[in-house]
Amino acid sequence: MTHSRDGEKVARFEAALQRLIERVAEDRYVLAIVQVGSLSEATIWERESLGLWIIEADGVSRRLPSDGKDERIFRILVEDGINIHAEVIPRSRFRQMVEGTSRTAFSCSFFAERKVVYSQDPSIESWFTEANTVALKDQERELLAFTTWTIHAHRHARKRLELKGDLELAAQETLWAAHSVAHTEIIRRGEVWEQDAIYRAMEGDPALFQVIYRDVLKRPGGPNALTSALDVIDAYLLEHHEAHLKPLLAWLRKQDRVVPLSEISDHFAFSQLHPWHLESACEWLEEKGFLQKLSAPFKLTKRSQEQVEEPAYSLPG
């Protein structure tokens, strides 16, 4: 029965997508459509909307007051009752994305398949095909992002457990860290996986996820299970820190100086890598003896005469 319902839902989504394509095929300013996320019985159960990139001709963007000053333009459309979440991208900016010169550079998505479903511009199809592959820089960047998430959650879980004695919220933070580790494992393998990452990661390392996930779920109020999970996550981070934090460590090594946290955050300003997560990663690295922590002057406003201090880090030696 479930398979029948999922099959019907897939058919509805495919029909809605085809109907949209038929509409835009009449619009000479719409050059291509990229579907983000596959439509299959294995993935459709959680979908309530379609995800698309709509590539348009340059100089025709229709901006709304709700777009504000954001460079990116998002629209919600609808076909046959199915909402369609679309990012509208000018052709020149899409080219910058695929060539890696845009701040929001195109990279392989490890958690959503993408494909061109409509195009009247052969160049766009060629750029997309060339860029939509797993590259080493994609892996390194995504590993860095998810590892900072893991460290951030791990540090908060440890504080909840050891300083507050809050077992419930410590368990919650530990499970978030476990999910980040699961995503990290998918990225390490260089595969695209659209279903629940935690189950796929368990297949590869059942012993690891028994401790950091299953045991925590079974005994969410038990301090011993939480302590064991946090110790194992810490050991995992320590074992893989050189590979998983490689872009950060390599960049600091190249700088060969004390670097303020704001400068580190600016350099690594891309999707899902947040300044407070970078801070947690740098603090963890300092605790383990891999970084030195100092401070650097910082002006709160562009007109400030007085300066405050911000964290700054350097590689020892």
Instruction: List all residues 6 or more positions away from 18 whose beta carbon is below 8 Å from its beta carbon.
Output: none
CATH number of the domain encompassing residue 244: 1.20.120.330
Compute CA 135 distance to the chain's CA centroid, rounded to the nearest angstrom: 16
Pairing mode of beta strands 82-90, 49-56: parallel
Are 164 and 300 part of one and the same domain?
A: yes
26 shares a domain with 160: no
Residues 164 and 303 in one domain: yes
Q: Of 105, 131, 157, which marks where a domain is finished?
A: 131
Q: What is the mean pLDDT of the chain?
A: 91
Integer Cα distance of 81 and 66 in angstroms: 23
**C-alpha Rg value of the chain to the nearest Å:** 23
Question: Is 169 in the same domain as 300?
Answer: yes
pLDDT at 3: 66
Residues 100 and 189 in one domain: no
pLDDT at 221: 55
What does the pLDDT read at residue 134? 63
Strand partners, 116: 34
Q: How far apart are CA 252 and CA 286, in angstroms?
A: 13
Q: Are residues 83 and 156 in the same domain?
A: no
CB-based contacts of 92-95 (< 8 A; 24+ apart in sequence): 92/58, 94/53, 94/55, 94/124, 94/127, 95/127
> Both 33 and 177 in a single domain?
no
pLDDT score of 107: 63
Same domain membership, residue 150 and residue 99: no
Do 123 and 144 belong together in one domain?
A: no
161 shares its domain with 309:
yes
The string over 187-199, giving b where at least 16 C-beta atoms fall within 10 Å of a residue's C-beta and e elsewhere, is bbeeeebbeebbe
Predicted local distance difference test score (pLDDT) of residue 242: 97
The domain total for the chain is 2
Q: Which domain holds residue 116?
A: 2-131
- pLDDT given for residue 104 in this prediction: 47
Domain match, 119 and 192 both: no
pLDDT in tens, 103-141: 445 665 787 889 999 999 999 999 898 887 766 677 898
* Amino acid (1-letter code) at residue 88: V
CB 260 within 8 A of CB 177: no
Lowest-pLDDT range of 79-93, 265-279, 298-312: 265-279
Q: How far apart are the first and last CA of the chain?
A: 64
Angle at 229 between CA 227 and CA 232, to 5 degrees: 110
Choosing from 73, 107, 131, the residue where a domain stops is 131
Domain end (from 114, 131, 148): 131
Are residues 294 and 145 located together in one domain of the fold?
Answer: yes
200-239 pLDDT, tens digit per residue, is: 999 999 999 999 999 999 875 578 999 999 999 999 999 9
Provide CB contacts within 8 A for 140, sequence distance 6+: 246, 247
Q: Could you tell me the CATH number of the domain that includes residue 109?
A: 3.30.460.10
Query: Residue 29: which of 75, 89, 83 has the closest Cα?
Result: 89
- The model's pLDDT over 179-211, given as tens digits with 9 standing for 90+, comes to 999 999 999 988 888 889 999 999 999 999 999
Whole-structure pTM value: 0.84
Element (DSSP H or E) covering residue 124: helix 122-131
Cα→Cα distances 177→138, 268, 284, Å: 21, 21, 14
Distance CA(70)–CA(59), nearest Å, equals 16
